[in-house]
Structure 1
Amino acid sequence: MKAVILAAGYGTRLNRDLQNDSSGHFKHLCGIPKPLLPVGNKALISHWMSAIEKIDCIDEVYVIERLGAVACLQLAITQFNINDHVLVLGGDTLFYEDFSLSVVLARFTELQSINCDNNLVLSYLCKDEAETTKFGILETDEEFQVTAFKEKPSLTETTSRRACPCFYIYSKSTIPLIAKFLQEKQNSPLEEKDAPGHYLHWVYSRKPVFVHHVSGRFDVGNLPSYIDCTKYFQKHGDE
């Protein structure tokens, strides 16, 4: 398995918050890419590297910083001739302490033993209904297979409160479809093909995608979320 860490975001909201912060406590973080922000006693991305280093089945890690998320993923696939399962994760995302990479990968292995086309994504329940309108929301059947993906839906569009962070394990058979997705979307507006959720939205009706539940995540998109993330990892440790 290969791991691709998406690190191409500009961090526009976070940098705006840092520049406007009246306390002055965070000015030194201005301009630092989100994956390199200090969380606990190491950079955010280093938490992922520490977890990945413990996993024998992941033999390569690629950090992509140049293009939009889906195009970044395809760049890695093409540039490094990837013909394998791929773990895709956001370089600005961390999970609560109950998250276990080894447990998630074991679930993927179990799904693969049933059908080699199976894919796995993470999800967590929104804290309140207002969050539903801010994230990509998954609908699933009784087997926790994805049946719908709605991007920032209104509360009347879905009864699901299952949010989907940027953490996907795509099977070896699903990876070639990324090029087809980008080809189909080549003339579409950037907002219809850039975010990683757009590929998930496109692919779940073509390949089986299942959900693994986690309790929550930190998405370091602004200063309050960064502060919450750092406080959590200072309290609970760095792993």
Structure 2
Amino acid sequence: MKAVILAAGYGTRLQRDIEKDQSGHFGHLRGVAKPLLPVGDCPLVSHWLRALTRSACVDQVLVVTNALYHEAFQLWAQEFSSVQVLNDGTRSNEERLGAVACLHLALNHFAEPDDVIVIGGDTLFREDFSLRRITEHFTEVQRKSEDSNLVLSYQCKDEETSKYGILELDSDCRVQRMKEKPLPSETHSRSACPCFYLFSRTTLPLLDIFLKEKETRPLEERDAPGNFLSWLISRRPVYVHEISGRFDVGNLVSYQECDRYFREELRNPEVYSI
């Protein structure tokens, strides 16, 4: 199995918050890519590399970033022998390719088709998350069909449905549909879906079809990986693995919450996410 970490975003909301902050505590974060932000005792993305390495669930990790942050990621990657850093060639948020196109770019650098873990580079999970448990679950759903895929889900609050992609499931925890940022009254589900997916090797060729269908559409329709997931649900089996919650570093407040958890509440950092 391979892993792709999507890290080509520009963190515009977070950088705006840092510029506006009057405390003087966050000036050192100016111009730092979100996956490289210090969280606890290391950069955010290093938590993923530690867990992927220690769990031995993948044999290759590819990080996709942009030209603006490429050098910083190359310096960071010197600590990890299994990592390759890819440059998507863009230098601003306006030029961005979108996460799905970045995933497609990464897949073209693998020597042969394989199942792939896709990880949002600005996302971490609470301590109940386990790579070993989710890869075991992936093996189980693949016994039903080699086309099966697995995504994460956690229960959000009623007022949060309009912030996230919400999954509607059947009794077998198979996803029936995904609603993008619905009002609470528009769905009975509260199953929010973070950017962490296990795609089967037989599913990944559909990326070509998706991008071809969307090539003349606005970037927003093919940017977030959730757009591909929503499109995929009617074409391939997608199942859910439940977790308790996530940290999505989008602004300064969410960054502070994430950093505080990893500095003060993480009980077993040596086995985190393994």
Fold conserved between structures, TM > 0.5: yes
Is 1:25 aligned to 2:25, yes or no? yes
Give 1:4 shift. 0.2
Is 1:115 aligned to 2:145, yes or no? yes
Question: Which stretches in structure 1 are left out of the alignment for 5+ residues?
Answer: none
Q: Quick one: which of 113, 116, 120 aligns to 1:90? A: 120
Q: Distance in 2 between matches of 1:43 and 1:235?
A: 16
Q: Distance in 2 between matches of 1:81 and 1:180?
A: 21
> Would you say the 8 A contact 1:76–1:82 is kept in 2?
no
Map Cα deviations across residues 120-155 of structure 1 (whole Å, 9 max, x no partner): 0000000x2111000011000000000010111122
| Other structure's SS at 2:186 match | coil
Aligned residues between the structures: 238
Tell me what 1:168 maps to.
197
Specify the code of the residue in structure 2 equivalent to 1:204: I
Q: Distance in 1 between matches of 2:194 and 2:57?
A: 22
Q: Distance in 2 between matches of 1:155 and 1:95?
A: 24
Matches within 5 A, 1:222-233: 222-233=251-262
> Would you say the 8 A contact 1:87–1:170 is kept in 2?
yes
Aligned-residue identity in percent: 58
Give 1:81 shift. 4.0
Q: Quick one: which of 100, 104, 108 aligns to 2:130? A: 100
Map Cα deviations across residues 77-110 of structure 1 (whole Å, 9 max, x no partner): 1233440101001000000011111111110011
- Range moving further from structure 2, 137-146 or 77-86: 77-86
| Other structure's SS at 1:156 match | helix
Tell me what 2:94 maps to.
none
Q: Distance in 1 between matches of 2:218 and 2:170?
A: 31
| Other structure's SS at 2:197 match | strand
Q: Distance in 2 between matches of 1:35 and 1:29?
A: 12
Distance 1:109 1:62, change over 3 A: same
> Would you say the 8 A contact 1:97–1:236 is kept in 2?
no
Specify the code of the residue in structure 2 equivalent to 1:80: F
> Would you say the 8 A contact 1:18–1:26 is kept in 2?
yes
> Would you say the 8 A contact 2:3–2:116 is kept in 1?
yes
Q: Distance in 2 between matches of 1:92 and 1:20?
A: 21
TM-score of the superposition, structure 1-length normalised? 0.97
Aligned Cα root-mean-square deviation (Å):
1.0
Specify the code of the residue in structure 1 equivalent to 2:46: S
Tell me what 1:192 maps to.
221
Give 1:8 shift. 0.8
Tell me what 1:2 maps to.
2
Is 1:70 aligned to 2:100, yes or no? yes
Q: Quick one: which of 161, 181, 184 aligns to 1:152? A: 181
